[in-house]
Amino acid sequence: MSSMTSKERVLAALNLKEPDRVPWVETYIHKGLAETILGHPVAEQPGRARIYPDIREALSLDNVFYNFSPPRFAEIERRGDMEIVGEGKLKTWEDLEACKKTMPDPTSKEFYKPAEEYFKKYGKDFATFAGVRMGPGNTYLSMGLEHFSYMLIDDPDLVDAVMDMFSSFTLKVLEVVQNMDFDVIHMADDLAFKTGTFISPKHMERFFMPHMRKIAEKIEKPWIYHSCGNINSIFDTLLSLGMNSIANLEPGPMDIFQLKKDYAGKVCLTGNIDIHYTLSKGTPEETEAEVKEKIEKVAPGGGYMMASANGLATYCKPENVVAMNDALLKYGNYPIKSS
């Protein structure tokens, strides 16, 4: 029987210790999936909350998540619960000035009231995650990846200015949320395709890392960094930022078993349960087998949190998500034998 609270369980894993069982954390659960699993409607959550706490009726999830990220200035297509980011709108210096005028005010008390309501209501039952972004993702999505890539050479000052707009927003958010009632900061910026990083490590060091380091230096609470894709070539560079965990370790590009061998005792590994096949196209039996293998090979000694490779999207099979839950409860209790 579980003896820790969700908060204690998550913080133990982030501190590379063995909790009572492997924690399960997600950055979002799409509403349609949650309602299918539960068999009834779920209540709308305040503001930009991204997890429906009712899901605890069916799943042993350990966190809730509130999104404080700045806007992306791009064409957004909505397909049910999903947002598809299209062409960026920030192409010129004039566009930048226009975008600045529409940015939310990170010093306004109103900006944080829904989060205070959310955390106050669910902080006793869940580990509370505050989602923020360091700036790279908002920069290249707002500019459009192709245009952004040209501007690295044609107008690097514009790239710097856009990065500064987004990173400055995050620094102001941190000033507030560090004093709010939450447990973990979650930073998310995708930096790579399946084959490698979007830009060279040289350009990443030039344009991204100075801003990311300024933000990392201000983080006072346990924190997680997320990127999709193949980040092997910059893994050590990212670790220099000092995060407690790296997520969500996309299967295929990222070999979580090798990462466990190389980085055990250095950083908590989060995620790696495949959403491209297992949770979306596989069977409950395949889901159980994958969860069992990840737990038995990565969880021993601590420093592992189970999660999907990105989030619980509407296209995940509900029966596979339930199988993920059941496998966690079957195999995830410490002490765990290595396989």
Q: What is the DSSP string of 1-16?
A: ---S-HHHHHHHHHTT
- Report the pLDDT value the prediction gives residue 66, as an integer from 0 to 100: 97
Token digits of residue 236: 């050590």
- Report the pLDDT value the prediction gives residue 2, as an integer from 0 to 100: 60
- Report the pLDDT value the prediction gives residue 337, as an integer from 0 to 100: 79
**What is the residue-averaged pLDDT of the chain?**
96
Q: Tens of pLDDT along 273-328?
A: 999 999 999 999 999 999 999 999 999 999 999 999 999 999 999 999 999 999 99
Token digits of residue 199: 């830009």
Q: Three-state DSSP class for 78?
A: strand
Q: Tens of pLDDT along 152-204?
A: 999 999 999 999 999 999 999 999 999 998 999 999 999 999 999 999 999 99
Q: Give the DSSP letter of residue 320.
A: H
Percent of the chain residues topping a pLDDT of 70: 99
Q: Three-state DSSP class for 76?
A: strand
**pLDDT for 82 beyond 90:** no
Q: Tens of pLDDT along 31-55?
A: 999 999 999 999 989 999 999 999 9
Give the residue-averaged pLDDT of 59-80: 92
**Residue 269 to residue 265: CA distance in whole angstroms:** 10
**Residue 294 to residue 302: CA distance in whole angstroms:** 13
Residue 308 · residue 273 · CB < 8 Å? yes
Residue 128 has phi, psi (to 5 degrees) of -100, 125
SS3 content of the chain, % helix, strand, coil (to 5): 45, 15, 40
**Residue 185 to residue 148: CA distance in whole angstroms:** 27
Residue 25 · residue 305 · CB < 8 Å? yes
Residue 262 has a CB neighbour count (10 Å cut-off) of: 12
**Residue 140 to residue 163: CA distance in whole angstroms:** 9
Q: What is the DSSP string of 97-159?
A: HHHHHHS--TT-GGGTHHHHHHHHHHTTTSEEEEEE--SHHHHHHHH-HHHHHHHHHH-HHHH
Residue 82 · residue 76 · CB < 8 Å? no
Residue 67 has a CB neighbour count (10 Å cut-off) of: 18
Cα 166–250–83 angle (5° rounding)? Answer: 50
CA end-to-end span of the chain = 23
Q: What is the set of domains in the chain, with CATH numbers?
A: 6-331 (3.20.20.210)
**pLDDT for 255 beyond 60:** yes
**Residue 41 to residue 284: CA distance in whole angstroms:** 24
Give the residue-averaged pLDDT of 85-109: 96
**Residue 249 to residue 326: CA distance in whole angstroms:** 22
**Sign, CA torsion 233/68/51/122:** positive
**Residue 24 to residue 35: CA distance in whole angstroms:** 19
Residue 139 has phi, psi (to 5 degrees) of -70, -55
pTM of the complete model: 0.96
